[in-house]
Chain A
Amino acid sequence: MKQEQGHSKAKKFGMVIDLDLCTGCGSCMVACMAENNVPFKEDETDKLKSITWMRIFKFSNGKTYPETDVCYLPRPCQHCEGHGGHSPCVSVCPATATDYDAHTGIVSQIYTRCFGCRYCMGSCPYKARYFNWFDPVWPDGMEQYLSPDVSPRMRGVVEKCSFCYHRYQIAKDKAHYEGQTEIEEDAYQTACAQACPVKAITFGDLNNHSHAVSKLKNQPNAFRLLERLGTNTKVYYVSGREWVRRAGDNYLKAEWPKKTS
């Protein structure tokens, strides 16, 4: 394929999230909102109309008191590779407003190209895409904290987690200036990974063996969400708890315990 002819080996940025470490404290959610100029309304309790690029799901093992156990699962955009970059959302966008970048493995979303047909939202099984139902409004004066690295979205377009791509742009900018070709692992980290107090989120280049993620993703307890759909995501989860690993996908009764394939 054309994109493999790149000068430097194609990168594949991804995440490994340790669900046994995650306390569901919400730092990643807020770090993401603060980093990416995510708007907010007076009432954000309708979670079906609340933009949270990073959303923490909460689910239990279904047992009763006192055997019950709960798992918090942070869910950024999974940046599916699908087959050859045809992730569920990318292939359906009629205006090429969302795209898969074979150089980075990141699924981009261009707000000024999007005209809000929302087909991509329908295609995403992770519900990682959010629509701007309302005009973004910041209370008087608060627009002062908006970051110039991420363009605020207008009403009527879809937005989602970008793996803080602007941080990669900034890192590359520096590299160009200093005449570097490669970018260090810690020079490009997402806001959520950086903020997480328990370091449950690890971010890096899955193709680069010197990056932590490339090893972490191979742990026996690592799994991905809805692997069976062939979404081929780049966000891995880790848990020592079997019921959590099982919740990561759908299985018929007969199919569990999962045969390691």
Chain B
Amino acid sequence: MSKSDDKAQTVSEKAVEVSSSTRQSSSSDEGSGGIVVLFFFIGLAISLIFGWMIFPKLLYSQKKQPINFSHSLHNKLVSNGCESCHFFRDDGSYSGVPKLAQCVGCHEEVQGDSPDEIEFVEKYVQKGIEVPWLVYARQPDCVFFSHAAHVKTAKLDCKTCHGYIGESESLKTYYQNRITGYSRDIWGENIAGIKKNTWDRMKMDDCAECHQKLKTSFGSVQTQKEGCFVCHK
């Protein structure tokens, strides 16, 4: 054979190779086009379900209060509403969750027949141990919140921030963010942060929202909003 011949041959061989390869690829295209799309949606679904339904559960750990407590029951018995127990100190600071000393005022001995009260008296009153309450509305250490300013001066209703806890029969579960350690009430139950009521969230934006609406003058030179030191320490 002459050189030219086998050159031509090799060329033709190449051509064959190429064509076959293209055929292969094209056929596989037709076959898996739908599947590719399907897989895409499977992936999409997986992460959406995880993100919107599983993740919120994972994010928070659930904690039970040391003992049960009925706000509504106590509310009926006291004269001065919330302030009967959650009172202001003489220096204007807010006492927050009552200390054992206040409860002892009434609960020296067991009053009624509620097992919770009996547990309370035996476990804490008699031993003189403070109840390690979990505070739903506890703000981080960097926050300075003046109850006096909001309740006394601005005449805000407790509900506005704390909702209907005052009418609750029992204490709800305490959800603690595993990363930040915050109570879930700060970010709110809705993972997207959507709120229907003023008391659904307690983040800085929620404070700011109200301050922006109600105040006429703002300290911050940089933001033309409320000054930082109004609420931070």
Contacts and interface: CB of A to CB of B under 8 A. Distances in A.
A and B together in one complex: yes
B141 interface: yes
Given A3-B218, A174-B92, A176-B148, A99 B228 contact: yes
Given A99-B223, A108-B229, A2 B218 contact: yes
A245 interface: no
Nearest to A176: B148
A165 interface: yes
Interface residues of A, number: 42
Given A99-B220, A112-B140, A176-B152, A151 B233 contact: yes
B223 A151 contact: no
B216 interface: yes
Contact of A103 (B142, B152, B217, B232): B217
Contacts of A4: 217
B228 A108 contact: yes
Interface string A176-197: 1111000000000000000000
A85 interface: yes
Interface string A82-102: 001110001101001001111
A233 B149 CA distance: 30
Interface in A1-16: 2-7
A118 interface: no
Contacts of A2: 217-218, 224
B32 interface: no
A131 B120 CA distance: 47
Contacts of B92: 170, 173-178
B221 A90 contact: yes
Q: Which of B142, B222, B230 has the most CB of A within 10 A?
A: B222
A150 interface: yes
13 contacts: A6-B216, A6-B217, A84-B221, A96-B222, A100-B220, A101-B228, A101-B229, A104-B227, A169-B144, A170-B93, A173-B148, A176-B148, A176-B149
A160 to B, nearest CB: 13
B88 interface: yes
A5 B91 contact: no
Contacts of B152: 176-177, 179
A162 B229 contact: yes
B219 interface: yes
Nearest to B144: A169
Interface in B139-168: 140-142, 144, 146, 148-149, 152-153
Given A85-B221, A176-B148, 6 more contacts: A3-B221, A7-B217, A102-B221, A104-B227, A166-B144, A174-B91
A110 B228 contact: yes
A170 to B, nearest CB: 7
Interface in B192-233: 216-224, 227-230, 232-233
